[in-house]
Amino acid sequence: MRKQLLLGLLIFCVWAFIITFIHINVVRSGRIVSQLQREADIKEARNQYEELEIARLSGPEIITTFASEKLGLVQIKPHEVFVLEDK
């Protein structure tokens, strides 16, 4: 009877220790996940900045300025446009 009690106690101790160990590890992993998430957010923000820069560079102001000042292009007059329609 005593032996069984002692064995039960031992099993309980081991179980409690394992559970505690797992819980501590879960918390630690959560922290790592949180840090990774933060890094992902930063990379996402950096990506958004890049996207906005692309949007700015492909905007009409930059294109028009570049076309006229760097490439020496002249803006076409509307009557000079020929529209080829698909049949």
Partner 1 sequence: MMFPQNSFSKPTVFNVKKRMKVVLILMLLAPLCITGRLFYLQLFQHEQYSSKAERTIYNYLAEDRLRGSIYDVQGRVLARSVRTHSCGIVKRYVKDQTATIDFLASTLGISKAQIYEKWKKNKNFFFVAKKIKPDVYMKLAAVRRSTLGQGMELTPEYERLHPFGKSAIDILGEANSKNVGLSGIEQMYNEELTQDISKKRAKRSARGEIIYDRHLKEKVKTGNVYLTIDQTAQFYTERALAKAVEQNNPDRAIALVQDPNTGYILAAASYPAKDGQSLAFQFTYEPGSTFKSLVVATALDSGTLSPDAQIDMSGRNWEVAKGFIVRDKQHQKDSLSLPEILQLSSNIGAGKIALEIGPKTLFSYFKAFGFGSKTDINFNGESKGSIAPYNTWTKVDLATKGYGYGVAVTPIQLITAYSAIANGGTLMQPHLVDRIEYANGKVDKKAKPIKIRRVISKTTAQTMREFLQTVVEVGSGKRAKIKGYNVAGKTGTAEKLDKEGGYGKRNHVVSFCGMVPATNPQFTILVILDNPAKYAFGSTAAAPVFKEIAEPLLVLKAVAPDQTDFE
Which residues bind to partner 1, rule: CB under 8 A?
6, 9-10, 13, 16-17, 19-20, 23-24, 31, 33-34, 37-38, 41-46, 48-49, 51-53, 55-56, 59-61, 64, 75-79, 81, 83
Q: Which of 44, 25, 21, 22 is nearest to 33 (CA)?
A: 25
Least Cβ distance, residue 72 to partner 1 (angstroms): 18
CB 75 to partner 1: min, Å: 7
CA angle 84, 69, 77 (to 5 degrees): 30
Q: What is the DSSP letter of 66?
A: I
CA distance 9 to 81: 92
- Complex with partner 1: residue 71 or 76, whichever CB lies closer: 76
Closest CB to partner 1 among 1 and 81? 81
Helices (H), 58-76: 60-65
Q: Whose Cβ is closer to partner 1: residue 15's or residue 70's?
A: 15
